[in-house]
Amino acid sequence: MSLLNQPISYLKGVTVNKANLLLTELGIRTCNDLLHFFPFRYIDRTRYYKINELLNTNSEVQILGKIISVKSVAQKRGSRLVAKFSDGTGTIELIWFKGQKWIKDSLKINESYVIYGKLNFYNGNFSIPHPEMELEKEANKKIKSKLQAVYPSTEKLQDKNVTNRVIRGYIQTLLKEIFEVLGESLSNDFKGKYSLISKRDALLNIHFPKSNDALAKAQYRLKFEELFFIQLQLLRKKLINKQKIKGYVFESIGEHFNNFYANYLPFDLTNAQKRVLKEIRKDVASNAHMNRLLQGDVGSGKTIVALLSMLIAIDNGYQATIMAPTEILAIQHYNAMKELLEHVNIDIALLTGSTKAKQRREIHEKLEDNSLKILIGTHALIEDKVKFHNLGIAIIDEQHRFGVAQRSKLWQKNELPPHILVMTATPIPRTLAMSVYGDLDISVIDELPPGRKEVKTVHRYDSNRLSVFKFIKDEITKGRQVYVVYPLIQESEAMDYKDLMDGYESISREFPSPKYQISIVHGKMKPADKDYEMNRFVKGETHIMVATTVIEVGVNVPNASVMIVESAERFGLSQLHQLRGRVGRGADQSYCILLTSFKLSADAKVRLKTMVDTSDGFKISEVDLKLRGPGNMMGTQQSGVLNLKIADVVKDTPILQQARNAAIELLDDDPNLSKETNEEILRTYSLLKRTSGIWSNIS
């Protein structure tokens, strides 16, 4: 089996140059990499076409015949090599533009060839440029397969003549050498239970399928295995963490929690909030360390759940902290918490990059002597100078904006790690949550507080702008406020700034002072100016806020009832959903108007239709996942997790669910994988753990 660990240059026919090319272009270093380099589609090679029956509608064809002549033909730039090919029913031209000398020397006249390629039709004649060719006697020696595998490739590989046929040849050589000794990664009991074919048959039929049925079984086995071992790693990590990492035990619900809950809670909790709070209470009362992801749409009431969780920590003699990705969001959390805790005797402070040195010193002292109970802030919280007396719970908001190293710094503020509650208003599709956050416990607030009206969303074209302006005037007359948001795309900051300023000027003309007051906020402003403009809008001194996406998270103005998104086609779905969440925070009916040009891509049309059709963040995130793919949704930090060889978390959701259930059942029965029947699984699991280090860095 050690052959699989050998570099691919070990294989017959793979020169050092080709091995380097396969490594740089496709990431194939070892024979094992080659064996697990899977096709992305298959071609039916059972049918042979006759030249006299070819039609202009045929795309890829396979013909059996002989080359009867070869010549070089001059053209405007250089030349092309042309071979006349006949099968007895007619002739066709085979054409090469690259590698002509090598090809001319290798062609054999009047010998029987199997040719395959894309059919061209020009001036009443058929031709095939750069066909795949093989002498019939050579083709008959090969592993017979009804369907022929097509592998991912690059232009560089094609230029160096490392074609699909060449890669298929390497894989065939490898399989012939190792087929008899190919090991198994799952036990017989396990394969029987989940109707899985052997690993050996799966690898043979993924590269050289005997039939459509054999291919389907091979794909199922390999996808199931890939997803199963990912889930096994995530779930075992969670299990080990719960056993190994001890957390602080919050034994009682005390005076602060009870007093606030009974007397100062501004509204009744929804059933979803109560359920999530129960899950958190159960975690923190056990001896294990809580590592929980809290998902909830914009406005679903995550903040109150976070506050109640912090009060439990304080009642048990511990401190609490919230880390937010931006200063605006940190200030909003601070103001909201301060207001909620107005009648409860708890010291609370805000620490951001703008906090003055004198205030910082005070905060540091109060943290260390335990008189400061709640600290809210940005990245400033993870500075080495910030030392807690005993941090019991750390809450991280919009966690996807923080790197792994930043989050772990927060864990290290204590002898024991604090309980962790990670919050996100960006709904994560179930499939991604299982794959990327499979080692966290997940709570979902899936209902909005009563009395919240759904935001009405419409799509309008630029030509409807005047009627949109009239609608804005009517809303302002009713005493409401309006957001007008422009895109912000880093690469074209100058263009975006121009868009924003042009928009601001046209709105100023349409809504003249002093009758209308307008705020403007963008990234080029000084923080103090930005805050001044934001505060004017928050206080209701301005009617319209013209902004870039800086207001995507954090601004809470219940009186704002209209969100206009300019050039909405330039925004992603999750951004549009977040922007819409800025309105609908009061009791009035709110509106979101998506303004676009007439030129829309197919994806943009799907995004806009989705926004108009639903306000369910989870449905929106599922569409987003289908459009963008998992890597783009999770950003670069987590996309490494999803570099799957054969499975697809979007298309293979049912297999993912089955694989996760299989991993859960296995660990329930044998948590340490110590039973003899699970010997193969343990061996594969241990090997993967050593070779795929991504898993330890996700959450």
Residues 438-456 have pLDDT tens digits of 667 888 888 877 777 889 9
Fold (CATH) for 255-285+301-424 = Rossmann fold (3.40.50)
Burial call 67-98: b when 16+ CB within 10 Å, e when fewer:
beeeeeeeeeeeebbebebbbeeebbbbbbee
Checking if the pLDDT of 352 tops 60, the result is yes
Checking if the pLDDT of 518 tops 50, the result is yes
Checking if the pLDDT of 407 tops 60, the result is no
Question: What residue spans define the domains of the chain?
Answer: 2-40+179-210, 46-144, 255-285+301-424, 456-614
* DSSP conformation class of 252: -
Band of pLDDT at residue 555, cut at 50, 70 and 90:
low
pLDDT given for residue 640 in this prediction: 45
More confident residue, 589 or 384: 589
* Percentage of residues of the chain with pLDDT beyond 90: 44
Among 80-84, 143-147, 634-638, the range scoring the smallest mean pLDDT is 634-638
**In the predicted model, what is the mean pLDDT of the chain?**
85
pLDDT given for residue 481 in this prediction: 93
Fold (CATH) for 456-614 = Rossmann fold (3.40.50)
Band of pLDDT at residue 336, cut at 50, 70 and 90:
confident
pLDDT given for residue 697 in this prediction: 37
Q: pTM of the entire structure?
A: 0.68
pLDDT given for residue 488 in this prediction: 65
More confident residue, 435 or 563: 563
Band of pLDDT at residue 634, cut at 50, 70 and 90:
low
Average pLDDT over residues 5-11: 90
Rounded to whole angstroms, the Cα distance separating 8 from 37 reads 12
The encoded tokens of residue 279 equal 């899950």
Phi-psi map region of 13: left, alpha, beta (phi>0 left; psi -120 to 50 alpha) = left
299, HSE (Cβ side, Cα atoms, 13 Å): 26
* Percentage of residues of the chain with pLDDT beyond 70: 90
Checking if the pLDDT of 630 tops 90, the result is no
Burial call 8-39: b when 16+ CB within 10 Å, e when fewer:
bbebeebeeebbebbbebbebebbbbbbbbbb
Which of 140, 128, 134, 48 is closest to 91 using CA atoms?
A: 128
pLDDT given for residue 271 in this prediction: 94
- Per CATH, domain 46-144 is 2.40.50.140: yes
Distance in Å from the first CA to the final CA of the chain: 35
Quick: pLDDT tens for 83-133.
Answer: 999 999 999 999 998 888 888 889 999 999 999 888 998 888 899 999 988
463, HSE (Cβ side, Cα atoms, 13 Å): 2
Quick: pLDDT tens for 364-377.
Answer: 999 999 999 999 99
Checking if the pLDDT of 493 tops 70, the result is no
Burial of 484 (0-12, 13-18, 19+ CB in 10 A): buried
The encoded tokens of residue 353 equal 């990059």
pLDDT given for residue 167 in this prediction: 93
Which of 256, 434, 223, 407 is closest to 345 using CA atoms?
A: 256
293 touches 302 (CB < 8 A): no
Rounded to whole angstroms, the Cα distance separating 216 from 326 reads 48
115 touches 75 (CB < 8 A): no
Which of 450, 437, 421, 56 is closest to 271 using CA atoms?
A: 450
Quick: pLDDT tens for 192-243.
Answer: 999 999 999 999 999 999 888 999 999 999 999 999 998 998 888 888 877 7
**Residue 663 backbone dihedrals phi, psi, to 5 degrees:** -65, -40
More confident residue, 535 or 419: 419
Highest-confidence range of 327-331, 577-581, 601-605, 618-622, by mean pLDDT?
601-605
Band of pLDDT at residue 590, cut at 50, 70 and 90:
very high
pLDDT given for residue 554 in this prediction: 52
The CA–CA distances, whole Å, from 146 to 39, 172, 205, 213, 408 equal 15, 15, 10, 11, 53
Domains 255-285+301-424 and 456-614 share a fold: yes
Rounded to whole angstroms, the Cα distance separating 319 from 349 reads 12
* DSSP conformation class of 7: B
Average pLDDT over residues 508-512: 91
Rounded to whole angstroms, the Cα distance separating 239 from 681 reads 17
Q: Are strands 79-86 and 91-96 parallel, antiparallel or unpaired?
A: antiparallel
